[in-house]
Amino acid sequence: MCLRFSLFLTQAVILALLFTGCSAKVPSEPLKTQEELEEIAKDFVISMSQGKWEDACSLFDKKMEKAISASELKKLWTDLLSQAGQWQEVRDVEFAEESGYRVVYVTGLFHKGSVDIKVVFDNEAKIAGLWFGNLAATEYSPPPYVQEDLFVEKEIVVGEGKWALPGTLTLPKSASRDDKVAAVVLVHGSGPNDRDETVGANKPFKDLAWGLASQGIAVLRYEKRTKEYQKELSQDPKEAANLTVKEETIEDAVSAVTLLKTVEEIDPHRIVVVGHSLGAMLGPKIAQICCESSDSHEPDTSISGLVMMAAPSRNLLDVIIDQTEYLANLDGNVDSDEMAEIKKIKEAAEKIKSGNLEEGEIVLGAYKAYWDDLLGYDQVKVAQELDIPILILQGERDYQVTMADLDIWKAALEGKPNVSIKVYPDLNHLFMSGEGKSTPNEYSEPSHVSEEVVNDIGEWIKSIPVS
């Protein structure tokens, strides 16, 4: 997953900034040459690396000025450093024209790898779009609980047509037509995630896939739609403005379930959805749709269980505010910039809640349609209505989705025999171990999903009665 100071907010902001570049088509007589745009993009990145936030923001067009302030840009860069390590230099600069848009890719070298920074220009050579790519870090090193000789991986396509997604099916070697295995669909958190849900130096979904496959459970993971089709979305303002969690997440998760039903080595009656963060928040809706569809439509999309890892139970806007306040207070001192940032986010949240967003307006990194959809969704109520087995997992050190969220789940689902809950005292939002207060810096240090978590999920799946 790209950089993030908030699992929800930052990635949405970056995606929105990419959308703002949609009107930046090449004029018949460009005001700047290719070489000049390359220099502007390079100067922009260097200004950020030197902490010259006002200088960097002076290069923005009017839409970007409204979308991101100097303090917000500082926070984005600071969180990039927390994942990629100390800034070193500009390694490469490359110009491109993408479907009529002028773009410069600046490859920045950091201590832990390189990051492609995409800078989109408008007709007046102002920066109209910005994208921080994933950290190209060191090669993945599997955790000790993985036994690579017990499984194979196959490339697979989730869905079809316009939004077909490349994915990976991790299949136990023991699986066969006569000895079918249980299977899992992994559903990402917010933002344009890859199939491994890469965060800094870590790949939690790859850990889960390889760990569960080592226990004889198949796992399907795939590129998120907003990751695989970010270019197409950036070039279609209408598509971007109408994007909701249905298109971002839910449709593809249901398609993944449908696909697993067709794999001959997989037991179609033992398919479980495992959602993380926003994916966990949407898990009840995904389960509801799968179960409803199985009652009335072909093909069968029923699932046998739902695992919710770090699932927000509250309004997403309140979660964003809590995250922002937590990070501002980490050093024990909330400065004027941080106070202004908190105030701005609270005001934006109130505007969204009031229903006063205009069509095409971006607030907190998303359009009206996206917020309207989320505000109309009550994940706790939907979960209460489900009768399939549900497993809720929570790390006590998670500052992004906190124990306050878990307390709501506990109260709402108390007494339901189909619900199990487990808490891990030393785990963070990625279900990786640590000590003390959790910070974004943890994500830049290579680690792995806790073996206890992988074992708990595996044992729970195996305990689900076969219908």
> Which of these is catalytic: 79, 267, 322, 398?
398
- ∠ CA 356-362-363, nearest 5°, is 65
**Cα distance between residue 64 and residue 76, in whole Å:** 14
Tell me, what amino acid is at 169? L
**Cα distance between residue 321 and residue 363, in whole Å:** 14
> Which of these is catalytic: 277, 302, 433, 450?
277
Buried b (16+ CB within 10 A) or exposed e, 186-204: bbbbbbbbbbbbbbbbbbb
> Which of these is catalytic: 188, 276, 429, 448?
429
Query: Alpha-carbon Rg of the chain, whole angstroms?
Result: 22
- Among 144, 101, 139, 93, smallest CA distance to 120 is for 101
- Residue 276: beta bridge partners? 309
DSSP 415: T
Residues 6+ apart with CB under 8 A from 53: 47, 70, 71, 73, 74
Longest pairwise C-alpha distance within the chain: 69
List C-alpha distances in Å: 389 to 218, 277, 284, 383, 386. 19, 19, 11, 11, 8
398 is catalytic: yes
429 is catalytic: yes
Tokens of 405: 């969220």
**Cα distance between residue 154 and residue 175, in whole Å:** 13
Catalytic residues: 277, 398, 429
